[in-house]
Structure 1
């Protein structure tokens, strides 16, 4: 089974029908992944912990509205998808077996907006069990790539692995809509696509040194590390495909990728 990295963008996708990325998520089952997986493992930029953690939810995942000063209807949205406790325990088992000793279990945390906003359009029936795995912004790209490598067996077990972040993410430099993206965003986005399509995984792991404008595109790495997990889970010979690209607020890239396993 292939793995994916999606740029989830602004949570306003949940209510704004004009946003192009929303249409991409809505086309998920018809254009990109028509077969329902047994479960989804979502690695979201918005769960950042000191050590690896999985949410083990026996019932329904809570919908976490982890954003401020947005329109009221956004706080009323619920995405009551089932938890995936068996998957969560399997994730922990694989990580521990790979040498990641400290994997915490969170039995209360639901889905943050990096998970439920895209999933509510990808699987609107809310009938696919979902488990979340946290990222560690204090680590690096190689660490997260190796996390993904440890999780590779899940691909053959009917689990869809999705990294959810953003191809570029510098909220302090967001501009207005409908203006050309700045050169730093274009250069980094272009480098990322070319590196992935060229299977230059080592460059992507060490993007801080290899990519142009890396620190401007990602002043904090939280929205980029989910890509490394998805890429690592696909395997060393994985082939990348750009499946969506658009811009929002001039500098926010919605580039999303499929990693086809060899």
Structure 2
């Protein structure tokens, strides 16, 4: 593959609440302001596909999964019929098993959940780029997912855009909202994450379960954070991190998003 086709960047995007997809500034201006290159295919690691063992979907055409309840009717009208990427799924399986995983499952039926199709609908609305999804394993930790990403780093040289889709903070549904700015605990967590990433202290982020301030409040369940670790690991041996977006929902859910660029 030529140097022009190779990809140096991986991304973590906070997809936010599905109903807020309309007008999401970062994603709607993706090709103009963030990433203009057209990838050969896309691998998405979504917070909304949790499994006990690593699994990739290998389908010819991606169905749109409406994995949410009681949302406005218009949300169920959106479609994202992107072509699947079974060859990429096979390549992901090969790389992960070569890294030491004993088993990587192939799912030949599953389409794209809203952690994948909501951002992709804004980023690449034509739905003409092949897409593959990789599950996360929330019973394992950040370091595991970082190493999972590290095994996938060669995909960038093959023209694959790797996107982790979750949220920088994702508190419990009964967490008190903050109507006046940002909740102090959420701001502290978000500041910690930005400082650690942009100063190269990646090992601290890998040990978020013990190092992050207000970890259990920011992520009572970790599934929305571990896609960041996969994207960070997939950047390779030497990379720099840059925050490319920050906004807040209800003063407690951070939509901070990051670009990881390999040197």
> What TM-score does the superposition give when structure 1 sets the normalisation length?
0.95
Aligned residue in 1 for 2:220: 219
Report matched runs for 1:28-67 at 5 Å: 28-58=30-60, 60-67=61-68
> Do residues 12 (structure 1) and 19 (structure 2) align?
yes
Q: In structure 1, how many angstroms separate the alpha carbons of the residues matched to 2:256 and 2:174?
A: 18
CA offsets 1:139-163 (integer angstroms, 9 cap, x no match): 0011100100100000110000000
Aligned residue in 2 for 1:27: 29
Deviation at 1:173, TM superposition (A): 4.5
> Do residues 95 (structure 1) and 96 (structure 2) align?
yes
Q: In structure 2, how many angstroms separate the alpha carbons of the residues matched to 1:196 and 1:173?
A: 29
Query: Structure 1's 181 and 228: CA in aligned 2 closer, same or farther, altered over 3 A?
Result: same
Deviation at 1:249, TM superposition (A): 1.5
Unaligned runs of 5+ in 2: 1-7
Contact 1:242-1:255 at 8 Å conserved across structures: yes
> What TM-score does the superposition give when structure 2 sets the normalisation length?
0.95
Q: In structure 2, how many angstroms separate the alpha carbons of the residues matched to 1:157 and 1:80?
A: 23
Aligned structure 1 segments of 4 or more residues deviating by more than 2 angstroms: 171-179
Aligned residue in 2 for 1:244: 245
Q: In structure 2, how many angstroms separate the alpha carbons of the residues matched to 1:247 and 1:125?
A: 28
CA-based RMSD of the aligned residues comes to: 1.2
Number of matched residues? 256
Deviation at 1:178, TM superposition (A): 5.2
Q: In structure 2, how many angstroms separate the alpha carbons of the residues matched to 1:54 and 1:180?
A: 39
Q: In structure 2, how many angstroms separate the alpha carbons of the residues matched to 1:200 and 1:112?
A: 32
Deviation at 1:73, TM superposition (A): 1.1
Q: In structure 2, how many angstroms separate the alpha carbons of the residues matched to 1:176 and 1:218?
A: 15
Contact 1:174-1:250 at 8 Å conserved across structures: no
Query: Structure 1's 186 and 177: CA in aligned 2 closer, same or farther, altered over 3 A?
Result: closer
Deviation at 1:176, TM superposition (A): 5.0
Unaligned runs of 5+ in 1: none
In the alignment, which of 2, 6, 9 is matched to residue 2 of structure 1?
Answer: 9
Q: In structure 1, how many angstroms separate the alpha carbons of the residues matched to 2:39 and 2:179?
A: 36
Contact 1:173-1:251 at 8 Å conserved across structures: no
Deviation at 1:95, TM superposition (A): 0.3
Aligned residue in 1 for 2:180: 179
Q: In structure 1, how many angstroms separate the alpha carbons of the residues matched to 2:175 and 2:214?
A: 15
Query: Structure 1's 237 and 62: CA in aligned 2 closer, same or farther, altered over 3 A?
Result: same
Q: In structure 2, how many angstroms separate the alpha carbons of the residues matched to 1:177 and 1:24?
A: 23
User: Tell me, what secondary structure is at the counterpart of 1:30?
Assistant: helix
Aligned residue in 1 for 2:161: 160
Q: In structure 2, how many angstroms separate the alpha carbons of the residues matched to 1:39 and 1:171?
A: 34
Q: In structure 2, how many angstroms separate the alpha carbons of the residues matched to 1:83 and 1:95?
A: 19
> Do residues 146 (structure 1) and 147 (structure 2) align?
yes
Aligned residue in 2 for 1:170: 171
